[in-house]
Structure 1
Amino acid sequence: MEFCDECGSMMKTDGDKWVCPEGHEKLRDRAKEATMKTTQGQEHSSAVDMSDVDDAEIGPTTRVKCANPDCDNDRARYEMKQIRSADESETRFFTCTECGQKWREDDH
């Protein structure tokens, strides 16, 4: 993946150069590209079967009230991801250990 030095947009290849949506261009560096990772060919990858995995192996849990009003459980698996700009806090994603309800929590 290459980003434009002028506007910061993600660039796409066009022959022997990289081009951004704003029209800025720079020459491709084949040696640098050889070290890049690609997702090409992964479009049809299959889901991972987690049915035989013990819940203790999936990740950390925390004490939090389930978002499902019909569930009284107070434990959920969680993970944190940076989905907004780097100067904002991470978003917490929860999955109830009892009913499987998923929800997210953002700091405002």
Structure 2
Amino acid sequence: MQFCDDCGSMMKSEDGVWVCSSCGAEQARGDDEGMVTTTDQEDSEIVDTSEIDEEVGPTTDAQCPECDNDRARWELKQIRAADESETRFFTCTECGHKWREDDH
């Protein structure tokens, strides 16, 4: 990724040069060794997760509100704005009950 020296906007690669998408300034690309650029969607592969055992993942001490079991699998997801904390989702290892915890 390259940023424009003139206006600070992100530049894109066109015909061996960096071109600013805002002001049109151009810069030589130089040596791109170690840089990987992907534009071909055919190389992408869809991963089928439907047959993955759900009993994979980290566990923690968490009291299930349904069966009082003291272990649960957990995961974090960002479901609100980026400047807010993630939501913790739990699944009881005993009964499979699911619940979540939010920071207030």
TM-score, normalised by the number of residues in structure 1: 0.49
Instruction: Return the index of the structure with the highest Cα Rg.
Output: 2
